[in-house]
Amino acid sequence: MNILSPSILSADFWRLGEQVKEVEKAGAQYLHIDVMDGMFVPSISFGLPVLKCIRRETSLFLDVHLMVERPERHVEAFAESGADLINFHIEASADVEKTIQAIRRMGKKAGITIKPGTPPEAAAPFLGMVDMVLVMTVEPGAGGQELIPQCLDKVRRIREMAKEKRLCVDIQVDGGIRVENVHQALEAGANVIVAGSAVFQGDIGANIRDFKRRMEQQA
């Protein structure tokens, strides 16, 4: 199933609660929450208090993307604060398998992420352990960037590897995705689409409906 996961990194934080409700009303299935520590990536975003507040007010599936050093330190706290899925960078973890196991112990879905410079084969040993692989299609750390087309080749390769292993795994893309190019990501094998500025700039409801229409055409 093709799933839209709007990223609140591009939301208006003065109106965050209101905008999350708009996302929910428009029919998005997931909400993408980018957590940045200023170390693994240059920027600092938000953390547990924001997640707790969102969890209290929405039934959306909360798709938490940890762009932090040593993500294993934070699994329990984010799970307890309301994450439904915890996705972390394999480049940032001292022990990827143990971090996946820690997420599982908390009863949450687990995901791994690779940056544009990381080969898709780096994800291969973990495909049978996770629910999702996130392929960054921009350098992590800032919204509003242009999609790097070569990253879609990684999506294709990971989808091929999953099929070879007869695994059912979601593949998510994040970075530079717009209504005009979402078909490229879907054709490459992605089925979970993160969109930030393309959702939150302008009419949120209309933007989500446009995305869903395009994504349903590719289903």
Residue 63 annotated in active site: no
Active-site choice (34, 37, 63, 170): 34
Residue 34 annotated in active site: yes
Active-site choice (37, 63, 170, 174): 174
- Kindly state the helix (H) or strand (E) to which residue 87 belongs, with its residue range: strand 85-89
| CA neighbor of 158 nearest in space, from 123, 116, 113 | 123
CA dist 31 and 6 (Å) reads 5
CA dist 181 and 63 (Å) reads 22
Q: Which positions are annotated as active-site residues?
A: 34, 174
